[in-house]
């Protein structure tokens, strides 16, 4: 076992982990934060997307021991973030979710898109979402919601 200490959603946490334990399992099992979903466990679906030191990261592919000392933010950590609040409202208003399994990873990724692109257009959003899988929505309303949130943030 290896002791891992990191800042998770603004709080310092320490747990002993197996060297092969993923960050996704650490967040869910050791810390009890279940918004980070584990889908494919191969980094292909994006359901496990979190932020590590400000960069979106597939937590299923990241070993917990590799983020020792890092700042990790899950969807729960964005609870008071105004950009995330705008995105959540836009996802709701534009029916951008169905089963909701991909939604946490989509929201974290959408926040990253809006941080890097000022009011992105459809083509940019679709390209940026290419690593996120959704089996229910067909993506159209997700793209519309992100566009709407981007416009609202720029107008504010």
- Among 77, 109, 136, which residue terminates a domain? 77
20 and 44: one domain? yes
* Alpha-carbon gap, residue 5 to 3, rounded angstroms: 7
In angstroms, the CA 60 to CA 95 distance is: 27
Please choose, from the candidates 68, 71, 65, 69, the residue with its C-alpha nearest in 3D space to the C-alpha of residue 20.
65
Query: Strands 71-73 and 55-58: what pairing?
Result: unpaired
18 and 60 part of one domain: yes
Q: What is residue 136's predicted lDDT score, i.e. its pLDDT?
A: 87
Please give the chain's pLDDT, 156 residues, in tens.
999 999 999 999 999 999 999 999 999 999 999 999 999 989 899 999 999 999 999 999 999 999 999 999 999 999 999 999 999 999 999 999 999 999 999 999 999 999 999 899 999 999 999 989 998 888 999 999 999 999 999 998
pTM to 2 decimal places: 0.95
Tokens, residue 86: 């705008």
- Tally of domains within the chain: 2
């Amino acid at each position: 076992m290896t002791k891992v200490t990191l800042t998770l959603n603004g709080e310092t946490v320490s747990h002993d982990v197996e060297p092969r334990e993923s960050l996704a399992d650490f967040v869910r099992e050791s810390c009890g934060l279940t918004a980070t979903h584990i889908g494919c466990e191969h980094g292909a679906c994006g359901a496990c997307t979190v932020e590590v030191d400000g960069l979106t990261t597939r937590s299923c592919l990241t070993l917990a021991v590799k983020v020792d000392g890092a700042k990790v933010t899950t969807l729960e950590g964005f609870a008071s973030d105004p950009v995330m609040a705008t995105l959540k409202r836009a996802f709701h208003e534009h029916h951008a979710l169905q089963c909701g399994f991909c939604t946490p990873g989509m929201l974290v990724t959408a926040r990253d898109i809006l941080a890097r692109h000022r009011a992105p257009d459809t083509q940019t959003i679709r390209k940026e979402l290419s690593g996120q899988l959704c089996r229910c929505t067909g993506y159209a309303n997700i793209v519309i919601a992100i566009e709407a949130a981007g416009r609202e943030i720029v107008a504010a």
